[in-house]
A and B are shown apart, each in its own frame.
Chain A
Amino acid sequence: MNETAAKVDAKCRPMTRAEMAARVARDIPEGWYVNLGIGAPLQVADYVPPEREVIFHSENGVLGMGPAPAAEEINRWLINAGKQYVTLREGGAYMHHADSFGLIRGGHLDLCVLGAFQVAENGDIANWSISDNDSAPAVGGAMDLAVGARRVWVLMEHQTKSGESRLVRRCTYPLTALGVVKRVYTNLAVLDVTPDGFAVRDMVDGLTLDALQKVTDAPVRPPMR
Chain B
Amino acid sequence: MINKIVQTMAEAMAGIGDGAVVLLGGFGSIGQPNALIDGLIEHGAKDLTVVSNNAGVGRISLARLLELGRVRKIICSYPRSVDPVVFEELYRAGKIELEIVPQGTLAERMRAAGAGIPAFFTATAVGTKLAAGKERRDIGGRQYLLEEALAGDVALIEAWEADRWGNLTYRSSARNFNPVMAMAATLTIAQAQHIVDLGALDPERIATPGIYVNRVLHVPYGEPTVT
**A residues at B contact (CB < 8 Å):** 58-62, 75-80, 83-85, 88, 94-98, 100-102, 104-105, 132, 135-144, 147-148, 174-178
Partner of A138 from B78, B125, B177 at Cβ < 8 Å: B78
Q: Are A105 and B104 in contact (CB under 8 A)?
A: yes
Establish whether residues A83 and B227, one from each chain, have CB atoms under 8 Å apart when the complex forms.
yes
Evaluate whether A78 and B172 lie within 8 angstroms (CB atoms) in the complex, with A136-B80, A138-B79, A144-B124 already known: yes
Report whether A136 and B28 are in contact in the complex, using a CB–CB cutoff of 8 Å.
no
Question: What's the nearest-Cβ distance from chain A to residue B87, in Å?
Answer: 7
Residues of A close to B53: CB separation below 8 A? 97
A-B contact count (CB 8 A): 145
Q: Which residue of B lies closest to A38 (CB)?
A: B78
Residue B6 at the chain A interface, CB threshold 8 Å? no
- The answer to whether A147 and B126 touch across the interface, beta carbons within 8 angstroms, is yes
Interface membership of B176, Cβ < 8 A: yes
Q: Please choose the segment from B8-16, B39-47, B58-66, B127-135 that sits at the chain A interface, where 4 or more of its residues have CB less than 8 A away.
A: B127-135
Docked-complex contact B27 and A98, CB < 8 angstroms: no
Whether A88 lies near B172 (C-beta < 8 A) is: yes
| Contact A174–B129 (Cβ < 8 Å) | yes
Contact of B127 among A78, A140, A178 (CB under 8 A): A178
Q: Which of B92, B100, B103, B175 is close to A95, meaning CB atoms less than 8 Å apart?
A: B175
Nearest Cβ on chain B to A83's Cβ, whole angstroms: 4
Q: A61-B27, A94-B175 are in contact. List 10 more A-B contacts (CB 8 A).
A: A76-B224, A77-B224, A79-B227, A80-B173, A96-B175, A105-B123, A105-B124, A136-B91, A137-B100, A141-B103
Instruction: Tell me the smallest distance from the CB of B172 to a CB of chain A, in Å.
Output: 4
Give every chain A residue within 8 A of B123 (Cβ-Cβ): 105, 147-148
Minimum C-beta distance from B103 to chain A (A): 4
**Cross-chain contact A105 with B122 (CB below 8 angstroms):** yes
* Interface contact A83-B28, CB-CB below 8 Å: yes
Q: Which residue of A lies closest to B224 (CB)?
A: A76
Question: A139–B100 contact, CB under 8 A?
Answer: yes
Residues on the A chain within 8 Å of B55, using CB: 136
Q: Is B98 an interface position by the 8 A CB rule? A: yes
Q: Give the residues in chain B near A105, CB-CB below 8 Å.
A: 104, 108, 122-124
**B161-191, CB < 8 A from A:** 170-180
State whether A94 touches B180 (Cβ < 8 A): no
B146 at the interface (CB under 8 A from A): no
Q: Which residues of A contact B173 (CB under 8 A)?
A: 58, 60-62, 77-80, 94
Do B125 and A143 touch across chains, with their CB atoms under 8 A apart? yes
Partner of B30, one of A79, A104, A138, A139: A79
B110 touches A98 (CB 8 A): yes
With a CB–CB cut-off of 8 A, which chain A residues contact B128?
Answer: 143, 174-177
State the CA gap A60–B26 with chains docked (Å). 10
- Closest-by-CB residue of A relative to B91 is A136
